[in-house]
Amino acid sequence: MTLLKASSPKHAARWWAENKNQWLRAAIVLGTVLMSAGTAFALPERFRIVVLALPFLGAGLLILLKWPPLGLVLVIAASILVRVSVPALGLTAALLAGLTGLWFVDMIARQKAFSILRSPVMPPLLFFVATSFIAFAVGQFPWYPISPAPMDAQIGGLGIFILSFAGFFLAAHQVRDIRWLKAMTFTFLGVGSVIALAAFFPTIRRAIQPYFSRNVLGGSLFWTWLMSFAYSHAAFNRKLDKRWRIVLAVALAGVIYIRLIDGRSWSSGWVPPLVALLVVTLIGAPRYALPVLMLGALAVLASYEQLYASLILVGDNEYSTMTRLEAWRIVGEIVKVNPLLGLGPSNYRFYTPLFPILGWYVQFNSHNNYVDIVAQVGLLGLACLFWFYWAIGKIGWQLRLRVPAGGFERAYVLGCIGGLAGMIVAGMLGDWVLPFVYNIGVEGMRASAMGWLFLGGLVALEQILRRAKLESESEIG
- Mean pLDDT, each 10-residue run in order, the chain (477 residues): 48 62 54 48 47 58 84 94 83 92 83 81 96 96 92 94 96 94 96 87 78 82 95 95 94 86 75 92 84 68 57 47 80 94 95 86 86 96 97 96 91 97 90 88 92 97 89 69
220-236 and 267-284 are packed helices; what angle lies between their axes, rounded to 10 degrees? 30
Rounded Cα gap, residues 380 and 384, in angstroms: 6
End-to-end CA distance of the chain: 57
Give the residue among 154, 41, 140 at the shortest CA–CA distance from 436.
154
Give the pLDDT of residue 375: 95
- In degrees, to the nearest 5, what angle opens at C-alpha 219 toward C-alphas 215 and 220? 170
Burial class of 371 by CB neighbour count within 10 A (0 to 12, 13 to 18, 19+): buried
Q: How many CA atoms lie within 13 A of 334 on its CB side?
A: 36
Q: State how far the alpha carbon of 458 is from the alpha carbons of 240, 277, 395, 411, 453, in Å.
A: 19, 18, 8, 11, 9
Residue 117 and residue 172 in contact, taking contact as beta carbons nearer than 8 Å: yes
Q: Is residue 30 part of a domain?
A: no
Domain count along the chain:
1
Q: Is residue 62 part of a domain?
A: no
Phi, psi of 367 (to 5 degrees): 55, 40
Residue 316 and residue 430 in contact, taking contact as beta carbons nearer than 8 Å: yes
Give the pLDDT of residue 161: 96
HEC secondary structure over the chain: CHHHHHHHHHHHHHHHHHHHHHHHHHHHHHHHHHHHHHHHHHCCHHHHHHHHHHHHHHHHHHHHHHCCHHHHHHHHHHHHHCCCCCCCCCHHHHHHHHHHHHHHHHHHHHHCCCCCCCCCCHHHHHHHHHHHHHHHHHCCCCCCCCCCCCHHHHHHHHHHHHHHHHHHHHHHHHCCCHHHHHHHHHHHHHHHHHHHHHHHCHHHHHHHHHHCCHHHHCCHHHHHHHHHHHHHHHHHCCCCCHHHHHHHHHHHHHHHHHHHHHCCCCHHHHHHHHHHHHHHHHHHCHHHHHHHHHHHHHHHHHCHHHHHHHHHHHCCCCCCHHHHHHHHHHHHHHHCCCCCCCCCCCCHHHHHHHCCECCECCCCCCCCHHHHHHHHHHHHHHHHHHHHHHHHHHHHHHHHHHCCCCCHHHHHHHHHHHHHHHHHHHHHHCCCCCCCCCCCCHHHHHHHHHHHHHHHHHHHHHHHHHHHHHHHHHHHC
Rounded to an integer, what is the distance from CA 161 to the centroid of its chain? 12
Give the pLDDT of residue 266: 75
- In degrees, to the nearest 5, what angle opens at C-alpha 396 toward C-alphas 394 and 400? 120
- In degrees, to the nearest 5, what angle opens at C-alpha 175 toward C-alphas 437 and 184? 65
Rounded Cα gap, residues 303 and 321, in angstroms: 19
Q: Is residue 46 part of a domain?
A: no
Q: Is residue 269 part of a domain?
A: yes
Rounded Cα gap, residues 20 and 15, in angstroms: 8
| b/e map 166-184, b = 16+ CB within 10 Å | bbbbbbbbbbeebebbebb
Q: Is residue 1 part of a domain?
A: no
Give the pLDDT of residue 2: 41
The alpha-carbon radius of gyration of the chain (Å, integer) is 26
| Beta-carbon count within 10 A of 333 CB | 11
Q: How many CA atoms lie within 13 A of 104 on its CB side?
A: 6
Domain of 295 in residue numbering reads as 110-476
Give the pLDDT of residue 307: 56
Q: How many angstroms separate the most distant Cα atoms in the chain? A: 103
Q: Is residue 74 part of a domain?
A: no
Q: Is residue 58 part of a domain?
A: no
Rounded Cα gap, residues 338 and 411, in angstroms: 43
Give the pLDDT of residue 106: 81
